[in-house]
């Protein structure tokens, strides 16, 4: 028999959403001491602290964040079920919160979320951030999924589940009409280059290839953002390296040309969630649909 008292859990849920014991007690028309007692009983039954006191503020613990994530799902779905059974009203839009690495290809992100864009039952929230903040938001259950091109490894404190969505080959991209043969050679030393920043896996692979062929490229600019690389490649006469998906429209329209694919150089794209934490049905469906489409 479960020890979880859902009445206590609902009080906890209200406190987190309102942000104050006093205001929650007023809203629910009970005394603050009674509300505190309900929360304390919930903590005792779960054998863990859900809140930490910082002065007069209540701050969720890590376990408290997890509990709130589950409570939010439980009581939101309960409200939707009641509305459907009593009034025949379908559930309100499902909110999916997807974080994306701020330096990733916008074209790839769009291709991933495209199945959701015309779904009337899903409201999509996309938030761009750095890798550290993405993982922090996932750990705090502020995101349902994160898209990144950096492999994520778990540790003793946090287990991640990283799904390899795609491996995009890296190509040499530049303005059309250049006299370049379709293989990597010393000819490439004659051109200016706009490259990813030196901390990029793509840049590291490209530098290794240049060293192998004893080429010293003339690097006139660097950028750690694929959107910026796309603009610079489009508006300059320089060469760059990137997945073709980044500039698919420019390649299609003839504004840019792909001269060669770099041997054994790829950019990996991952979907990251928290391991052993439930994933929303729509997230599973989205990932599976994308993987199926890539086959």
pLDDT digits (tens, 9 = 90+) for 51-106: 887 777 788 888 888 888 888 878 877 766 666 566 555 555 677 889 999 888 88
Regarding whether 235 and 180 lie in a shared domain, the answer is: yes
pLDDT digits (tens, 9 = 90+) for 150-194: 888 766 566 788 899 999 899 999 999 888 877 877 888 889 999
Residue 174 maps to a domain: yes
User: Binning pLDDT at 50, 70 and 90, where does residue 1 land?
Assistant: very low
Regarding whether 277 and 154 lie in a shared domain, the answer is: yes
Regarding whether 174 and 261 lie in a shared domain, the answer is: yes
Least confident of 235-239, 251-255, 267-271, 285-289: 285-289
CA separation, residue 220 to residues 197, 236, 238, 255 (Å): 12, 11, 8, 21
Q: Are 43 and 50 in contact (CB under 8 A)?
A: yes
Residue 143 maps to a domain: yes
Residue 230 maps to a domain: yes
Residue 64 maps to a domain: yes
Regarding whether 278 and 133 lie in a shared domain, the answer is: yes
Name the domain boundary from 87, 105, 136: 87
User: Binning pLDDT at 50, 70 and 90, where does residue 148 land?
Assistant: very high
Regarding whether 223 and 281 lie in a shared domain, the answer is: no
Regarding whether 260 and 176 lie in a shared domain, the answer is: yes
Regarding whether 175 and 54 lie in a shared domain, the answer is: no
Q: Are 3 and 65 in contact (CB under 8 A)?
A: no
Residue 179 maps to a domain: yes
Closest residue by Cα to residue 285 from 130, 94, 155? 94
Number of domains comprising the chain = 3
From CA 37, how far away is CA 8, in angstroms rounded?
9
Regarding whether 141 and 71 lie in a shared domain, the answer is: no
Residue 148 maps to a domain: yes
The CATH number assigned to the domain holding 81 equals 1.10.10.10
Residue 37 maps to a domain: yes
Write down the pTM of the prediction.
Answer: 0.65
Name the domain boundary from 87, 118, 147: 87
Regarding whether 105 and 149 lie in a shared domain, the answer is: yes
Q: Are 185 and 239 in contact (CB under 8 A)?
A: no
From CA 204, how far away is CA 257, in angstroms rounded?
23
The CATH number assigned to the domain holding 146 equals 3.40.190.10
Residue 1 maps to a domain: no
Regarding whether 11 and 81 lie in a shared domain, the answer is: yes
| Whether the predicted pLDDT of 7 surpasses 70 | yes
Q: What average pLDDT does the structure give for the chain?
A: 84
User: Binning pLDDT at 50, 70 and 90, where does residue 253 land?
Assistant: very high
Looking at per-residue pLDDT, the higher value among 133 and 264 belongs to 133
Looking at per-residue pLDDT, the higher value among 265 and 275 belongs to 265
Regarding whether 274 and 160 lie in a shared domain, the answer is: yes
The CATH number assigned to the domain holding 226 equals 3.40.190.290
- Show the 3-state SS of 113-182: HHHHHCCCCEEEEEEEECHHHHHHHHHCCCCCEEEECCCCCCCCCCCEEEEEEEEEEEEEEECCCCCCCC
Name the domain boundary from 44, 62, 87: 87
Question: What confidence score (pLDDT) does residue 195 get?
Answer: 93
Question: What confidence score (pLDDT) does residue 290 get?
Answer: 83
Q: State which residues form the domain around 188.
A: 167-266
Regarding whether 219 and 191 lie in a shared domain, the answer is: yes
Q: Are 51 and 59 in contact (CB under 8 A)?
A: yes
């Amino acid at each position: 028999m479960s020890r979880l008292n859902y009445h206590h859990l609902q009080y906890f849920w209200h406190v987190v959403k309102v942000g104050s014991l006093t205001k929650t007690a007023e809203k629910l028309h009970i005394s603050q001491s009674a509300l505190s007692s309900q929360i304390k009983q919930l903590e005792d039954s779960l054998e863990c602290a859900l809140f930490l006191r910082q002065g007069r503020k209540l701050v969720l613990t890590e376990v408290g964040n997890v509990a709130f994530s589950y409570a939010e799902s439980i009581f939101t779905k309960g409200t939707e079920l009641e509305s459907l059974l009593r009034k025949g009203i379908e559930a309100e839009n499902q909110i999916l919160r997807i974080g994306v690495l701020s330096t990733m290809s916008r074209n790839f992100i769009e291709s991933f979320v495209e199945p959701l864009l015309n779904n009337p039952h899903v409201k999509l929230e996309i938030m761009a951030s750095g890798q550290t903040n993405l993982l922090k938001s996932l750990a705090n259950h502020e995101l349902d999924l994160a898209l990144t091109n950096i492999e994520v490894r778990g540790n003793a404190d946090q287990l991640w589940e990283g799904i390899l969505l795609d491996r995009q080959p890296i190509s040499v991209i530049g303005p059309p009409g250049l006299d370049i043969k379709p293989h990597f050679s010393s000819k490439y030393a004659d051109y200016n280059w706009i490259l990813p920043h030196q901390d990029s896996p793509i840049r590291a692979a490209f530098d290794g290839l240049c060293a192998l062929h004893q080429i010293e490229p003339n690097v006139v600019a660097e950028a750690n953002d694929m959107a910026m690389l796309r603009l610079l490649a489009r508006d300059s006469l320089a060469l760059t390296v990137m997945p073709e998906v980044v500039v698919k429209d420019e390649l299609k329209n003839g504004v840019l040309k792909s001269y060669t694919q770099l041997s054994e150089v790829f950019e990996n794209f991952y979907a990251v969630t928290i391991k052993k934490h439930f994933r929303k049905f729509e997230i599973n469906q989205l990932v599976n649909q994308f993987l199926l489409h890539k086959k």
